[in-house]
Amino acid sequence: MKNRPRLMIAAVRSGSGKTSIATGLMGALVRRGYRVQGFKVGPDFIDPSYHTAVTGRWSRNLDTWLLSYSRVREFFWKAVQDADLAVIEGVMGLFDGLRRVPDSAGAGERASSAEIAKLLGCPVVLVLDVHAQARSAVVEYLGCRALDRDLLLAGVILNRVQGPRHLEMLLDAFRAIDIPVLGAIQAGSLPRLTERHLGLVPVPEQRRPDDVLAGLSEAVGRQVDLDAVLRVAESAPSRFRSVLKDRFENGRMRLRLGGGGRKTFRQQASGRVRIAYAWDEAFNFYYRDGLALLEEMGLEPVPFSPLRDRALPPETRGVLIGGGFPELFAERLSANDGMKESLRSAHARGMPIYAECGGFMYLCESLRDLEGRDHPMVGLVPGSCRMERRLVGMGYVTATALSDNILCRAGQSLRGHEFHYSTFTPQCEGFSWAFSFLKGERDAGLNGYASGNLLASYLHYHFASSPRAAARFAAACRAYDIRKF
């Protein structure tokens, strides 16, 4: 396998500017003519939408809670084979991971940026917010280096520099101990990315994202030494021995994407079965590698818009409705009676329908917004959702099925995450809960709805986390195809 230049943009803490700088760096390198593959550490959907917009390539998620080490490595190398280099944006602080995970390689390290960097032999560039620091900023870099000698720390990008005098003090401090400074971003020089309760506004929802992203790429390209960045990426070892051991397989089926002696899922499947996935401003949270796995299993994902389309695409045999922000488009979603009826009709015929978070909310009977207005929704889930002003659910979860469903059998578990500001209330006796949730070792209650070929919950799930679950969904779509057509 041919080596690829790669580097990670990380930070000591959230809010240091790594998303803006990583995105701007990708855009600046694309302007130079490089094919850049973007990645995001962790389960986030929104930051990758910015990477995708500036590179023209789907950004991928690297998450060692959702995926095994071997799968993360496999997806990474597969994605970069036709790219010139990879730029990985870290998550939270460099070392911030899961505190208590039985199969963790190190206490608190699982699913952290540091873990991914070591797993992939990736040089790390630290973004340091220096707006209220000078020489003390060096301590943060040295602390990271002292905490983990296995990390390939390669330099810093200074963010929110207050002026020439401030920059001179910083450069003197870092040069004194031979720490490369790859860039210095002046305070206020980067276009601001729009934020709200769930973080940045996803690119598909914005009216004119190109203007902001072009300005971001120009500003970062002007203030960062791109040649030095490329040298860092090229310094990534072509041969390296990961210091991490994979303790996450737990007997799961290993995923193979082509090559070798085994048949791929595509080779095992005969013919193509069309599934429709919701894609518009309201729903756009999907893992690209998860969709790719479904394609390997013989499914043909095609997009549809619950906001604009009046019906599901022709010859649809299964439906995916990912997460998003239905609460911001509740009036329009409610008014699209054609699509709501199309989904109800599909469910009545037994078509497999899988919905996550925002998709779950859309399939409920009603959605109450923050102003107290109730918006009738599809009505396949006998219950209602209500938006709250506080964060209701956040973090990694283990979801154990309470009955057989289109992803797994009763008693089997899926790994995923949740992040939502809404609550759900069932509206009937004997409600058919889909999962029991665990967060670490803590009971997080019942969640979601499962009935026949319908499964909907707050769980965000990566299909490649358990190919058996993906295969079960594909089999349900294929069985519907055979039975109905």
> What are the pLDDT digits (tens) for 337-394?
999 999 999 999 999 999 999 999 999 999 999 999 999 999 999 999 999 999 999 9
Q: Of the candidates 7, 92, 88, which has an alpha carbon nearest to the alpha carbon of residue 48?
A: 88
pLDDT digits (tens, 9 = 90+) for 432-452: 999 999 998 899 999 999 999
Does 3 or 475 have the greater pLDDT score? 475
C-alpha to C-alpha distance for 172 and 135, rounded to whole angstroms:
8
Task: Give residue 198's pLDDT band: very low, low, confident or very high (50, 70, 90).
Answer: low
pLDDT of residue 386: 98
pLDDT of residue 1: 56
pLDDT digits (tens, 9 = 90+) for 3-22: 899 999 999 999 999 999 99
CA 461 to chain centre: 10
pLDDT of residue 244: 63
Does 357 or 485 have the greater pLDDT score? 357
pLDDT digits (tens, 9 = 90+) for 299-325: 999 999 999 999 999 999 999 999 999
Does 102 or 53 have the greater pLDDT score? 53
Domain segments of the chain: what residues?
6-234, 265-484
pLDDT at 263 over 70: no
- The two domains 6-234 and 265-484 share their CATH topology (first three levels equal): yes
Does 225 or 485 have the greater pLDDT score? 225
Q: One-letter amino acid identity for 331?
A: E
Please check whether the domain covering 265-484 is classified as CATH 3.40.50.880: yes
pLDDT digits (tens, 9 = 90+) for 77-108: 999 999 999 999 999 999 999 865 544 455 56
User: Token pair of 446, please?
Assistant: 């019942």
Q: What residues contact residue 136 under an 8 Å CB cut-off, 6+ apart?
A: none
Relative to beta strand 454-457, strand 353-356 is parallel
pLDDT at 261 over 60: no
pLDDT digits (tens, 9 = 90+) for 389-398: 999 999 999 9
pLDDT at 283 over 80: yes
Q: Can you spell out the DSSP letters for 168-206? A: HHHHHHHHHTT--EEEEEETT-SPPPPEETTEEPPGGG-
Report the percent of the chain where pLDDT is more than 70: 90
pLDDT at 239 over 90: no
Report the percent of the chain where pLDDT is more than 90: 84
Q: Is there a catalytic annotation at residue 477?
A: no
pLDDT of residue 206: 87
User: Token pair of 168, please?
Assistant: 């001179």
Task: Give residue 213's pLDDT band: very low, low, confident or very high (50, 70, 90).
Answer: very high
Number of H-type helices and E-type strands within the chain: 14, 25
Q: Count of residues for the chain?
A: 485
C-alpha to C-alpha distance for 437 and 416, rounded to whole angstroms:
10
Q: What residues contact residue 88 under an 8 Å CB cut-off, 6+ apart?
A: 6, 7, 8, 9, 38, 39, 40, 41, 62, 116, 117, 120, 122
Q: Is 411 exposed, middle or buried (0-12, 13-18, 19+ CB in 10 A)?
A: exposed
pLDDT of residue 256: 32
CATH class label, 6-234: alpha beta
Q: Check if the beta carbon of residue 66 is closer than 8 Å to that of residue 416.
A: yes
Q: Check if the beta carbon of residue 347 is closer than 8 Å to that of residue 319.
A: no
| DSSP classification of residue 464 | G
Helix (H) or strand (E) holding 367: strand 364-368
Catalytic position from the list 122, 357, 408, 477: 357
Does the reported pTM lie above 0.85? yes
The count of C-alpha atoms lying within 13 angstroms of the C-alpha of 136, restricted to the half-sphere facing its C-beta, is 5
What is the arithmetic mean of pLDDT over 148-174? Answer: 97
